[in-house]
Structure 1
Amino acid sequence: MKDKQQINLSRRRFVTGMMAMGTVSMLSPGPLIPKVWAAGESTERWVQSGSHFGAFEAKVVNGEWVDTRPFRHDKYPCDMLQAVREIVYNPSRARYPMVRLDWLRKREKSDRSQRGDNRFVRVSWDQALDLVYAELERVQKTHGSSGVFTGLADWQMVGKYHKAGGAMDRGLGLHGSYVTTVGDYSAAAAQVVLPHVIGSLEVYEQQTSLPLVIEHTDTIVLWGCDPIKNLQIEFLIPDHVPFGYWQQIKEKAAAGKIRIISVDPVRSKTQNYLNGEQLALHPQTDVALLLGLAHTLYEEKLCDTAFLRDYTVGFDAFLPYLLGDKDKQPKNAEWAAEICGLSADQIRGFARLLVKGRTQIMGGWCVQRMHHGEQYPWMLVVLASMIGQIGLPGGGVGFGWHYNGGGTVTSKGPVLSGLGSINNPPPPVHAADFRGASAHIPVSRMVDCLLSPGKKLAFNGETLTFPDIKMAIFSAANPFHAQQDRNRMIEAWKKLETVVVLDHQWTASCRFADIVLPVTTRFERNDIEQFGTHSNKGLMAIRQIVPPQFEARHDFEVFAGLCKRFGREEAYREGRNEMQWIRAIYEEGAKQGAMNGVAMPDFDTFWNGDGYIEFPAGEPWVRHGDFREEPDLNPLGTPSGLIEIYSKTIAGFNYEDCPGHPVWMEPFELRKTDDKTQKYPLHLQSCHPDKRLHSQICSSEAWRKTYAVAEREPLYMSQKDADARGLKAGDVARVFNSRGQILAGVVISADYAPGVIRIHEGAWYSPKDGGKAGTLCTYGDPNVLSADIGTSQLAQGPSAHSVLVEVERYRGELPAVTGFGGPHEVKAEADNAA
């Protein structure tokens, strides 16, 4: 087993117009017809490409993409491939460089309350880049590096060369320095606390190979984890191999050989697929349940004391809290039952099951996107340590099972680098000058920073000083989807003098911009990319399906044009065009492969042939197996090298909201099941959607119609909650709290317990009155309702799932959905434009 576990870390670590309508084929594998790649050689051709939703082939007839079918090597294609064609052809496509009317007139002295009214003037590319450059110069000279902010999500593109973040960093880095973000919205709390506890980010790490789970596991615990829903997409191109393994798990579960327990207030897609059992706890009470389980294991002498002794530190410091020595409240099953809604007998029975045979705990991310979200992943590691199976095949705990093909077997192939830093770059035009402010901020504290420049912020042991940001540049990012409390955002955006957005869809972030630069989709570019993120099953040529539409430009070309304006274009380009960059990246990977005994054809053979290489299969691997086998030789990345149940580092930060060991702390908003007077009695979940990647493909009109209700985002709720409010399926409801109000279409489902509703995140913000705080969102963006409060001083992550609301039938005249389509194009000299 030891040899099977030793997969190279570099392979297993993952860090860091109207719509032209066409038919979409049934997404079933079919034989490839001969390919003709060069434009003009045939009026009909099939072109290989890839996306976050999977690999596919596009049928192009007379220059138009008309049909789509899955890649021949994907046995479990995702039905979201039906939406990818509409990314190119839809009414929300960003087509031309546009500048907000009042900003074009007055620049940084514009009326910022007009942001969001969607009135823009079309300009040439030269004029747009001149404006961006002039603003960069002005802000750097006047306010220094702390005046410029870059927001980046980098979910927009697959491809090693065409990385929006790489292009932006190269270009802006040649001009000067700027404020950046740390962390992300998906897993901010976990990715900060887990390195202190178990030595790595964990959330983005490869998991124990699923074949070993199938072979060894007796019980799978899905703790807020929904892999059948979320494995449809990946950060790179998914190969969807995990679905074959999950089908085997389903078969073993049906035969009684694996028991599936879902700890979740809602019956998830995975639970329904596997026909698993459910422990339907109250929302946001996971830590209380975990403590009750831990207390039971200790009280009944079921915990693995040898594992705690040999592989962990700090259990003795945690135990007095668990036993209630100071607060006189043991965190036993009875105490936990009062909070989480399960019975004490259920909790005790579950604890006993965890140590009966091999148990694999699969932790999801939604639970840590709550107030005090750091406590859940920490406590889940503590529970797994008490069970004592960390590092065993099919046992222990992991936090990446639902992401990037977690649990696939990683191949022996090379991992190609992408567009990186410039070799021997000239010094930037402006030296770094943050003027006493911090060079980075936690990503979800962006609005706090805008509203309170100069304020001090505790973050993971640092004391940050918020910079006074004047200019924000967003590339491959949609902050008016990801950030919480939309109405607070509107006020914060007024603090910015200039907002620049690069995108290929006219999102709400574009509507709240001053300059919008249209970039190409991944389907208008050539590139190469991995087939399978964690699996790295193979390497694909991503071929341009159609040429850039309208006036869209590649991100790389946008920043090359910007660099031209301050004399750095030659340094930026490094003498290579698109295909030369792709060739260089491929050839570097081929050298890496040869060093590991993996032969790859020369680039011309690869690109001009099938454009696909399948790498040699790897060996199954156990997460933390090397640590368990030899903890002294393979220590974790914690100060002690062991699992830290009590962290002296965190304790030394002296954070009242995140002490040195996990504790139960009630979130700022918690549904009280016995409080009949609670003003907002429903808990709103806004987890990742089943039919999108965050906000991506929400603009695909035909696809959106397959799941929207009355043209709105679905609102999922129980029959009991619907009946109590006089609602029926298909109604349009107003969902509201003190922070905002939205419309959504009612879907009644037996999967939802009373008191719990769901509206998926990523629904496009669609204000009835653009740019006005408090206005009704006409489509159903749940972040209108969420609070912009950090998880704690440790991670300062988003608390997006600590949300209480009320729902009622919408009785007024239904407003049109406002969030889709392009800008209202106006003339700069219009008399009524001011």
Structure 2
Amino acid sequence: MSRKQETSAHWGTYLVEVSADGRDVVAARARPDDPDAAPAIGNVADAHRHRSRVARPTVRRRWLERGPGPDTDRGDPEDAYVEVGWDTALDLLAGELDRVRSTFGNQAIFGGSYGWGSAGRLHHAQSQLHRFLNTIGGYTRSVNDYSRGSSAMLLPHLVGARAALDLRYKPASWADVAEHTDLLVTFGGVRRSNTWVVPGGHARHVGSDLVRAAGRTTEVVALSAQRDDAFAELGAEWVGVMPGTDTAVMLALIHVLVVDGLADDAFLAAHTVGADEVRRYVLGEADGVPKTPEWASAISRTPAAVIRSLAHRMAAGRTLVNVVYSLQRGERGEQPIFAGLTLAAFLGQIGLPGGGFVHGFGSMGDYGVGVAGAPLPTFPQGRNAVADFIPCARISDLLLLPGSEIPYNGGTLRLPETKLAYWAGGNPFHHHQDLRRLRRALSTLDTFVVHETHWTPTARHADVVLPVASTLERDDVAAGAGDSRLRASPRAVPPRGEAREELWIYTELARRLGADFAEGLDSRQWLERIYEEWRAAPGSPPAPPFEEFWRDGGVPLPQNPYRDTVFADFRAGQPLGTPSGRIELFSATLAEFGLPDVAGHAEWREPTQWWGSPQAAEFDLHLLCNQPSHRLHSQLDMGAASRSTKVAGREPVRLNPADAAARGLVDGDVALVRSAQGSLLAGVVVTDALVPGVAQMHTGAWFDPSAPEVADCVNGNVNVLTRDVGTSTLTQATSGAHVLVAISRYDGVVPPVLAYEPPVIT
């Protein structure tokens, strides 16, 4: 008889059904008390037993025969791999790590692991890899993230470090919106699918319920290129805005507030610096260009009358301005965040319940839940003896431009020479841009090491691939920020093939290198240790001993509502952590940096990727690249839920009916999508949910270069199209949320998708 048990992932807690012999996952489904569960659950059973699982330690034949060194053939679809025993693989890898650190120094090792590989508190791929590399002398690390790397660097300059953190971890809540907000104006919408995902997962999805409750009492206006960027249940009014032009609309809204006497001058005088500079700029006194609604309409294609009316509606009641994460993932991505905060300041409602500014509603499931997150168990990573780092989106620069310097946050970063990259729990072929450039970058390495459960595109570019146990194949504890329960997540089935827990792998590697990774503890002992240390720590909630916790399946976490203390206290007279103690609508610090692309105040500068640029003559559609609904990033793309979204066997591209008709495209066609960076094949979906001139694709399709004579990727990975340039010289974050493309019908022989096939193994 099969059995059912609970497990956890970043998309939530769910049930798996295990076969009678206890060796296979035969089904996965939502818990009965989670009616808004994520569709990604439907990928689990297929993926667990899929042929693309990595079964044994595997080494790329060319690397094994020729030894470490740069190799332009790395990632060739015809590359052959050799399966070896664990002792052989670990001996080879330990020898290579020792060679690199001894010959070039530990800064020549890059510790990747940017990713979402595990929701567990112990088996967290990033923490384990970083702890291991720290025990052997350190590594070059990455900082910030792809989600909000631009705004995370900007906001401390404008509101101080503490307030910037509270905008992420203690923002205005959806309950505040439901009780106090008359009008929620959201730039980028409020996507339902994003509320399914929380780092660490939640015991039950609550974000969707909170959003729907707010929609019953609050008027919502969603400014986006996609109508379905907002929950259908919100009944949001849709205002179309061309991608990359939101800043112009925000500046025009400020212009109306100023010209029509609607700006809160008392708030601006008491709580901000730089309002006069902003006024001069929007009135055109600084550059001769008034930022009128008509000016913004010519840029954004948003009707001037709509902009003018919206400004008056915002000033008429309690208004909350929301800017979603995706808006900062583009060239000049700081500017919509800067302009959104400035707009909220001119309305004068920052620090009032349900009013002001938030950055993230609709971006993740924990944002705005209104619960102060309890401390959670953590796996200690130790200290990194290497000072070198890069912003995470600059990985290709690191590998291609060793010894060069890049501007960053008003200074410069020197890029060290990198000989070995070690990646675990992530897939840069999902997160990173311009995959042809990334492949060139990876070819410069002496050695590329990857831990994986499946033969992902990243694993297919590695020299050493070590099979690791999946979340279903190891014991762990799980919880996310603001969660209601710390959960036991016991192993459901044994590891497939010769897969091992990463803690065991690092323990064995460290021993070969004369280091101590695990302190003599196995994974079960480490689970008990981090739990008991958490239970004993000041501020932790009451919790039973580990054995009782494990037997009961979890322990409740306190659900303590927070209040917006930083901005409320600031409004009452408590200074912010900025040089002026106020909100800096003009930052003297930013101005003194003298950067060519970021000024002291929010401003509109034409990006190279927008519909009005010279590139649009050839690439005449603006492609939005956003997160998928039926998988998390690229995880388990071969699963049933993800496959259900495919068109013509590959990732779909959505087009407005007018744009489709102009290109002779209909539903179900295969289209060739091109940019200046690369090309792909996609299945066509025609929809009126997009403004004309805009196409849309989800990120996360597995990269498939198996038919380069047809396209760089025949499975629809959008990052063969996107540009690998930093948002600005201030933040160097990703600019991959949109790109100019040309789309035409593909009438040739359609090649099969081979992305999910394992490589040739001998």
| Cα distance, 1:677–1:398 mapped onto 2, change above 3 Å | closer
Q: How does 1:782-797 map to 2 (within 5 A)?
A: 782-797=718-733
Partner of 1:730: 668
The CA distance in 1 between the partners of 2:44 and 2:167, in whole Å, is: 27
Partner of 1:690: 629
Tell whether the 8 Å contact from 1:444 to 1:797 is kept in structure 2 after alignment: yes
Partner of 1:185: 146
1:48 aligns with 2:2: no
Partner of 1:26: none
The CA distance in 2 between the partners of 1:316 and 1:823, in whole Å, is: 62
Q: Deviations over 1:131-189 (max 9, x none)?
A: 21111111112221232111122411011111112211221112122211111112111
Q: Deviations over 1:765-818 (max 9, x none)?
A: 11124xx79953110011101111111100011111341111111111010112
The CA distance in 2 between the partners of 1:350 and 1:452, in whole Å, is: 47
Partner amino acid, structure 2, of 1:823: P
The CA distance in 2 between the partners of 1:203 and 1:619, in whole Å, is: 15
Partner amino acid, structure 1, of 2:17: K
Partner of 2:192: 228
Partner of 1:537: 484
Q: How does 1:79-478 map to 2 (within 5 A)?
A: 79-109=39-69, 111-117=71-77, 118-199=79-160, 200-201=164-165, 204-238=168-202, 239-250=204-215, 252=216, 257-402=217-362, 403-410=364-371, 414-422=374-382, 439-478=388-427
Partner amino acid, structure 2, of 1:175: I
Three-state SS of the structure 2 residue aligned to 1:55 is: strand
Three-state SS of the structure 1 residue aligned to 2:450 is: strand
The CA distance in 1 between the partners of 2:138 and 2:2, in whole Å, is: 48
The CA distance in 2 between the partners of 1:774 and 1:191, in whole Å, is: 40
Q: Deviations over 1:94-131 (max 9, x none)?
A: 22111111100011246432433342111111111112
The CA distance in 2 between the partners of 1:775 and 1:126, in whole Å, is: 40
Tell whether the 8 Å contact from 2:144 to 2:152 is kept in structure 1 after alignment: yes
Tell whether the 8 Å contact from 2:256 to 2:308 is kept in structure 1 after alignment: yes
Partner amino acid, structure 2, of 1:641: G
Moved more, 717-726 or 615-624: 615-624
The CA distance in 2 between the partners of 1:576 and 1:631, in whole Å, is: 51
Tell whether the 8 Å contact from 1:234 to 1:404 is kept in structure 2 after alignment: yes
Q: TM-score, normalised by structure 1?
A: 0.87
Moved more, 617-626 or 689-698: 617-626
Partner amino acid, structure 2, of 1:708: K
The CA distance in 2 between the partners of 1:710 and 1:623, in whole Å, is: 52
| Cα distance, 1:109–1:343 mapped onto 2, change above 3 Å | closer
Identity of aligned residues (%): 35
Partner of 1:759: 697
Tell whether the 8 Å contact from 1:372 to 1:791 is kept in structure 2 after alignment: yes
Unaligned runs of 5+ in 2: none
1:678 aligns with 2:620: no
Three-state SS of the structure 1 residue aligned to 2:498 is: coil
Partner of 2:653: 715
Tell whether the 8 Å contact from 1:55 to 1:71 is kept in structure 2 after alignment: yes
Tell whether the 8 Å contact from 1:229 to 1:269 is kept in structure 2 after alignment: no
Counterpart pick for 1:745 among 660, 667, 683: 683
Q: Deviations over 1:750-769 (max 9, x none)?
A: 10122101111111111124
Q: How does 1:791-806 map to 2 (within 5 A)?
A: 791-806=727-742
The CA distance in 2 between the partners of 1:120 and 1:573, in whole Å, is: 30
| Cα distance, 1:152–1:213 mapped onto 2, change above 3 Å | same
| Cα distance, 1:193–1:111 mapped onto 2, change above 3 Å | closer
Partner amino acid, structure 2, of 1:644: E
| Cα distance, 1:65–1:113 mapped onto 2, change above 3 Å | closer
Tell whether the 8 Å contact from 2:191 to 2:228 is kept in structure 1 after alignment: no
Moved more, 504-513 or 143-152: 143-152
Moved more, 394-403 or 739-748: 394-403
The CA distance in 1 between the partners of 2:282 and 2:456, in whole Å, is: 48
Counterpart pick for 1:590 among 521, 526, 535: 535
Tell whether the 8 Å contact from 1:192 to 1:201 is kept in structure 2 after alignment: no
Q: Deviations over 1:304-361 (max 9, x none)?
A: 1122122212222333222222321111222212211122221111111111111122
Three-state SS of the structure 2 residue aligned to 1:360 is: strand
1:627 CA displacement: 3.0
The CA distance in 2 between the partners of 1:262 and 1:271, in whole Å, is: 10
The CA distance in 2 between the partners of 1:240 and 1:47, in whole Å, is: 18
The CA distance in 2 between the partners of 1:467 and 1:567, in whole Å, is: 25
1:745 CA displacement: 0.5
The CA distance in 1 between the partners of 2:165 and 2:709, in whole Å, is: 37
Unaligned runs of 5+ in 1: 1-42, 433-437, 827-834
1:558 aligns with 2:505: yes
The CA distance in 1 between the partners of 2:554 and 2:390, in whole Å, is: 40
1:271 CA displacement: 4.5
Partner amino acid, structure 2, of 1:480: F
1:620 CA displacement: 4.9
Three-state SS of the structure 1 residue aligned to 2:168 is: coil
Counterpart pick for 1:606 among 546, 549, 554: 549
Partner of 1:20: none
Tell whether the 8 Å contact from 1:152 to 1:476 is kept in structure 2 after alignment: yes
Three-state SS of the structure 2 residue aligned to 1:134 is: helix
The CA distance in 1 between the partners of 2:663 and 2:121, in whole Å, is: 51
1:469 CA displacement: 0.9
| Cα distance, 1:677–1:56 mapped onto 2, change above 3 Å | closer
| Cα distance, 1:248–1:110 mapped onto 2, change above 3 Å | closer
Tell whether the 8 Å contact from 2:205 to 2:365 is kept in structure 1 after alignment: no
Three-state SS of the structure 2 residue aligned to 1:320 is: helix
1:663 aligns with 2:663: no
Q: Deviations over 1:537-594 (max 9, x none)?
A: 11110010101111111111111111010222xx32123222222122222232247x
**Aligned alpha-carbon RMSD (Å):** 2.1
Q: Deviations over 1:585-635 (max 9, x none)?
A: 222232247x56x422222222112x1322343235236444335342xx3
Q: Deviations over 1:639-678 (max 9, x none)?
A: 33321111111112110101111110111122139x9981
